[in-house]
Structure 1
Amino acid sequence: MFALVVIVKLHRSKYSVPVKSTEKQLGSVVRKLRQAAGLTQEQLAQQLTAEGLPTKQNTVAKLENGLRPTSVTEFSALARLFNLSVAELSDAVFPRELDAEQIKAAEAERSEHWARIGELHILSEYLQDTMGAIRGELAERGMRAALLDTRLGDHESKSPIGGGPVRGAELDAQVAMLLRRYMRGEDGNAKHSEA
């Protein structure tokens, strides 16, 4: 009996497909995709549950660590959640040999994506700074307007936005107007200029 167990173990270790390395590779790819999407393991579990696959955070952790097998249905759902085709996810898990032309094209595409990501980060920081300045100015002017309203009492407001609360599209239009004024430097406090 002992010899049979040893032979079976030896046979499995030499000739079977390395399932654990496949699961670890899939887990590594899922972790990278999840992090790139800005999701937590809990959020990914919730999205899988919404896809009809009841999943908990610890299940995602096990998947990412290569500690559990993944069904075809789960694999397909993961591809959908990460906006990939099943073939694209499969290529990420089981990379194929690429010829020189494919490598060159992939490197060019990767460089293009990273360049655009850099541009978007710069734009995001600029917009955050600008919106922070606008919010500060709105708060300051709002306080001053409120003080003037108090001093003027019941007199009619001459504000371009009226005296009532501002909501929805009206607020968006006002913020856009103030942003354009700020960018043009109409209030004398502009810190940025349009390129």
Structure 2
Amino acid sequence: MSLLVENTGREVLLSFGRTVRQLREAHEWTQEQLANRMSTAGYPMHQVTVGKLETGRRPTSVGEVVALAAIFEVDPGELIRFPSAGDGDDAAMARMRAQQELRELDHRIDRMNVELDLLQERRAEAAAQLARAEAAEARSVRPAG
């Protein structure tokens, strides 16, 4: 293997690891939490494995790249940067973080809308119960005469 290919491969692994770490931190996950998500996705990992991956000390399979992309909800190509990417890395990471933030907020809004619907149904049921109770009370309280 030529020195150029070897160095390029190493740089790609380092860049990949940095990207994974940045995305993990953007999600506020520990290495252990990411390892658990990977294990659930069918790629058993431990915290130490994630640490090695993030520092470029562990090669990664295509399947693992695809699983990580799915976990982070990004395109697999966004995880792999070649050395020529240069200054665009910061802008690309900012874009990925903003996209992730929007996705997370959309998910939270969806969950809140579901909860709001449930609360509105419960309120309508409680109002109906109150109306029935008031009607029953009105029927039972009759003026003496």
Q: What TM-score do the two structures reach when normalised by structure 1?
A: 0.42
Residue 40 (1) aligns with residue 37 (2) = no
Match of 1:59 in 2: 49
Shift in Å, 1:85: 1.5
Residue 27 (1) aligns with residue 23 (2) = no
Shift in Å, 1:89: 2.5
The CA deviation string for residues 21-42 of structure 1, in whole angstroms up to 9 with x for no partner, is 2111111110000000110000
CA radius of gyration, larger in: 1
Give 5+ residue unaligned stretches, structure 2. 106-117, 124-145
Letter in 2 for 1:20: R
Shift in Å, 1:86: 1.5
Match of 2:82 in 1: 94
Match of 1:153 in 2: none
- Quick check: which one's helix share is greater? 2
- Taking structure 1 as reference, are residues 45 and 89 closer, same or farther at Cα in structure 2, changes over 3 Å only? same
Match of 1:77 among 40, 48, 67: 67
> How many pairs does the alignment contain?
100
Q: What TM-score do the two structures reach when normalised by structure 2?
A: 0.56
Tell me how large the CA RMSD over aligned residues is: 3.5
The CA deviation string for residues 100-128 of structure 1, in whole angstroms up to 9 with x for no partner, is xxx8xx79x95xx4xx99xx9xxxxxxxx
Q: Spell out structure 1 runs of 4+ moving beyond 3 A.
A: none
- Taking structure 1 as reference, are residues 94 and 16 closer, same or farther at Cα in structure 2, changes over 3 Å only? closer
